């Protein structure tokens, strides 16, 4: 389904400094039994946000009232590595997160994020320590997708980059499936005709039953 168009915004940012925050941490597997994609925000980082007794840990950044309105996460390298579960993105989106800043991302996660209107922003590790510190101090982060700029109170404005197609999709709220069917139906049919002629064994029906 299409997303609302991505608009420029400014907000405080929640700092999560660890590297290698995987999708099992972002969305623990037992909640994968839920088949809905909305309303998953409560499960984001569940096991980090709750103690062994199930009580909310007031020490966790995402449990602190001052970060309730954060629309940005500032985090460590390889964020979203591991499982392909899109629930990780749906849960973050459910918390209201619209952009995530990290030195690098798990690839499947980054693609999933873009498809759900969440912008992954890669910044060099050298600048991340400052961003984490400023996020912790409540600095305002301003994201301008059209200009591909990120402004943080207390830092010079920085650029980020994004593939042209992904940017257009975000700005317009396009749905990838709809776009492909609308624009490339003839190409797909032509490919199938050619492949069926050269590799007919791929078109003999499903023999594995």
Partner 1 sequence: MSRTLYDKLWDAHVVRDLGDGQALIYIDRHLVHEVSSPQAFAALRAKSLPLRRADTHFAVADHAIPTLREGGVIEDPMAAAQIAELEDNAHAFAVPYAAPDSAGQGIVHVIGPETGFTLPGTTIVCGDSHTTTHGAFGALAFGIGASECGTVMAAQVLRQTKAKTMRVTFTGALPRGVYAKDMALALIAQIGANGAAGHSVELAGEAVRALDMAGRMTLCNMMIEAGSRVGLIAPDAVTFAYVKGRKGAPQGADWDAALAYWRTLSSNDDAVFDREVVLDISTLTPRVSWGTSPDENCGIDEAVPDNAPSLAYMGLTGGQAIAGTPISHVFIGSCTNGRIEDLRAAAAVLKGRQVADGVTALIVPGSTATRALAEAEGLEAIFLAAGCQWRQAGCSMCVAMNNDRLGPGDRCASTSNRNFEGRQGKGGRTHLVSPAMAAAAAVTGHLCDVRELMA
Binding residues for partner 1, rule: CB under 8 A, are 1, 18, 20, 22, 24-25, 28-30, 32-35, 37, 47, 52, 77-78, 81-86, 89, 104, 106-108, 111-112, 115-116, 163-165, 176-178, 180-181, 184, 187-188, 191-192, 195, 199-202, 204-209
Contacts of 18 (CB under 8 A, 6+ apart): 75, 76
Nearer to partner 1 among residue 172 and residue 191 (C-beta): 191
SS3 8: coil
| DSSP symbol at 5 | P
User: Given the complex with partner 1, which of 155 and 162 has the nearer CB atom?
Assistant: 162
Q: Rounded to an integer, what distance in angstroms lies between the CA atom of residue 29 and that of residue 25?
A: 9
> CB of residue 171 vs partner 1: minimum separation in angstroms?
16
Find out whether 117 and 176 touch, Cβ atoms under 8 Å.
no
As measured in angstroms, the least distance from the Cβ of 20 to partner 1 is 5
CA-atom Rg of the chain in angstroms: 20
CB of 137 to partner 1, least distance (A): 23
In the bound state with partner 1, the residue whose beta carbon lies nearer, of 116 and 149, is 116
Q: How far is the CB of 34 from partner 1 (least distance, A)?
A: 8
Q: Which CB sits closer to partner 1, 32 or 147?
A: 32
Place of tokens 């999560």: 16
Q: Which two tokens stand for residue 27?
A: 């969305």
Closest residue by Cα to residue 180 from 169, 172, 171, 170: 169
Q: Is 46 exposed, middle or buried, given 0-12, 13-18 or 19+ CB atoms closer than 10 A?
A: middle
In this complex, which beta carbon is closest to partner 1, that of residue 65 or of residue 164?
164
Q: 94: closest CA among 115, 71, 120, 67? A: 71
Least distance between partner 1 and beta carbon 121 (Å): 16
**Closer residue to partner 1, CB minimum distance, 66 or 196:** 196
* Smallest distance from partner 1 to CB 49, Å: 12
């Amino acid at each position: 389904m299409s997303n609302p168009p991505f608009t420029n915004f400014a907000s405080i940012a929640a700092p999560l400094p660890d590297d290698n925050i995987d999708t099992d941490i972002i969305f623990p597997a037992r909640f994968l039994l839920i088949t809905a994609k909305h309303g998953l925000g409560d499960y984001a980082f569940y096991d980090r946000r709750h103690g062994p007794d199930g009580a909310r840990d007031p020490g966790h950044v995402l449990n602190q009232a001052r970060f309730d309105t954060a629309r940005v996460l500032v985090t460590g390298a390889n964020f979203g590595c591991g499982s392909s579960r899109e629930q990780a993105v749906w849960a973050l989106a459910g918390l209201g997160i619209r952009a995530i800043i990290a030195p690098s991302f798990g690839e499947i996660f980054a693609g999933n994020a873009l498809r759900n209107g969440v912008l992954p922003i890669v910044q060099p590790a050298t600048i991340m320590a400052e961003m984490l510190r400023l996020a912790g101090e409540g600095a305002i982060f301003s994201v301008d997708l059209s200009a591909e700029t990120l402004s943080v109170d207390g830092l010079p404005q920085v650029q980020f980059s994004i593939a042209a197609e992904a940017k257009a999709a975000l700005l317009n709220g396009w749905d990838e499936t709809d776009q492909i069917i609308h624009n490339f139906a003839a190409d797909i049919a032509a490919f199938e005709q050619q492949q069926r002629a050269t590799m007919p064994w791929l078109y003999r029906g499903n023999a594995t039953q």
